[in-house]
Structure 1
């Protein structure tokens, strides 16, 4: 069984400190999250970003677009088209940065799906995926803690009908209403499309929009074992936003991997 590449987010704007921290911890890469405010608007800004990313070498870099309420399927057609242009811009940016993988969301930052169109969402995800493919970018959809992608059956349908790859967030999955209610199991987020999951976000759980690290291997062992069954999921992001939390989660993950050696199944209670 393959050894996952373990990465941290770009949780600090001090890129030198980020690189030093990641290398000191023996991490393999950085998961670079864009915000709308940080997107380069001029060639000069784009060149500066390119230099910042290049300075992270030899660390590998994948990308993540975190744009609350910017949705391809907004019921307002003008807002949906504006969102499409933003995401297309990000795909072009990732391609220029020589990136190959970008994670996006549906319904991020919303408390209702009433202002979203299901069919428009699927149509524009499909269109954006075609555009990303032409640029050499693998577009991934992440499951959230609430909304359409928090429901395993809808997450599966979105991936299938759009052709997107997947990013499996284990902290979102465990607090999903579908899982808490026991209507579905965590495994259902990656069934029947396990081969399409390229990335994992690893931490214990999300609460009040904060990510909390696991306190022990038992907190996440079941979900890490599930990740080990996914043949293409080689990128594990310790999705915490401070050094102590990343370090403690890294320790838990390494202890799990040392103990597991590829022999532990996924039976047992959900962490």
Structure 2
């Protein structure tokens, strides 16, 4: 099958699904939920918005993302790599909020610059200018920061329920799992199996488990999210809002290429 670029494509006519596709799809869904939640929480924290807002915002954003994934990756451009959440952006967000940045203005500018790069092929130019050392260094740095942060959060959660030993056993089991997957050349199973192992082991060791949010759709009215007394409680952005976030948007786009190339190196190693 040969899917067409920028032409209507239909499943099973122009491309097909394989059962192996469920693993990266599951891993990507888990990762997307985590990253969208991290971005929303990083913005919401300094603004005084609680966990309930973050959960609803994540639901809303994932519905929007799903629409564009189906439209572009499922219909118009099946061969395109899915757009992810820009991880290096997370440490930048508290500075954006402290400077008075507006989330919508920030997102719109990043999207506009991204489209300009795509149309002008500037992304390829940035990628060619980025050395392998930069990619490797960024990947190591982000991996270290992410690992230390998650270990800290895991122990904080375990101590909060009075079962500190659970965190130790989960980390040990995860290391052993990855070592086995490396030995069996099955590293692509790491994300879903780690989730199952971590959750199952914690539950087996007596950790409390309950769903705190009921299934349902978020508020679908855009004006709710951008009202002055609802949603983000910031209102719609003004010209000043765009000026404030302009340098941060440029910096975020400039960080795209090393982030992308670093993940590309990781993907190649996973497949080798």
User: Is TM-score (shorter-chain normalized) higher than 0.5?
Assistant: no
Identify, as 1 or 2, the structure richer in strand.
Answer: 1
| Higher relative contact order (Cα pairs below 8 Å, separated by 6+ residues) | 2
Identify, as 1 or 2, the structure richer in helix.
Answer: 2
TM-score, with length taken from structure 1: 0.22
TM-score, with length taken from structure 2: 0.22
